[in-house]
Amino acid sequence: MTEAEIETKTHRVVVVNGPNLGRLGVREPEVYGYQDLTQLKKDCLLWGQELGLSVEVRQTDDEGQMVSWMHQAVDRKTAVVINPAAFTHYSYSLADAAAQVSKSGMPLIEVHISNPASRETFRKHSVISPIATATITGMGFYGYRLALEAVAHFSEEIDKD
């Protein structure tokens, strides 16, 4: 790939948000903040544009839907930023599907608005972290920006190969 092709190539990334994140702004704002999912979507689209990424933001409370989105990402060679929310701690089906993203060579960045390690004991374990390219926690919505920056960085590295 030539340098010009690298500069003009747009990388796709899907930002996948799990259960209860549709309630951002009203659910435990002392933990997750007062901004809602609509604002998060706007922020991610803007940040993606700044980074030269084509971003799509999704949210579901359904574990099976998240698994299907991981399969789509593999099939479409799309990077993933994932906030698995409660599925972080126990969804082996999601972990298996997310592992396919990593194994396909696409970046998989796990992000959490809060810092699960500083919260209740059951939140300290992630079945996603071991297969993620990177994990960003405790940075609020800004963590999504950092995750998109990581996708841009890793995508550039992939292009060089």
pTM here is 0.89
Does 2 reside within a domain?
no
**Is 86 part of any domain?**
yes
Q: Is the dihedral of CA 28, 29, 30, 35 positive or negative?
A: positive
* Number of domain units in the chain: 1
Q: Is residue 153 annotated as involved in ligand binding?
A: no
Judge whether 125 is annotated as a binding position. no
Q: Is 61 annotated as a binding residue?
A: no
Is residue 152 in a domain?
yes
Whether 4 is in a domain gets the answer no
Q: What is the CATH number of the domain that holds 78?
A: 3.40.50.9100
Residue 135 has pLDDT above 80, yes or no: yes
Distance CA 89, CA 136 (A): 16
pLDDT at position 6: 43
Q: How far apart are CA 50 and CA 97, in angstroms?
A: 29
The answer on whether 82 is annotated among ligand-binding residues is no
pLDDT for 51-68, tens place per residue? 999 999 999 999 999 999
Range of the domain at 55: 11-160
* Rounded mean pLDDT, 40-61: 98
Percent of the chain with pLDDT over 70: 89
Residues with a known catalytic role? 32, 112
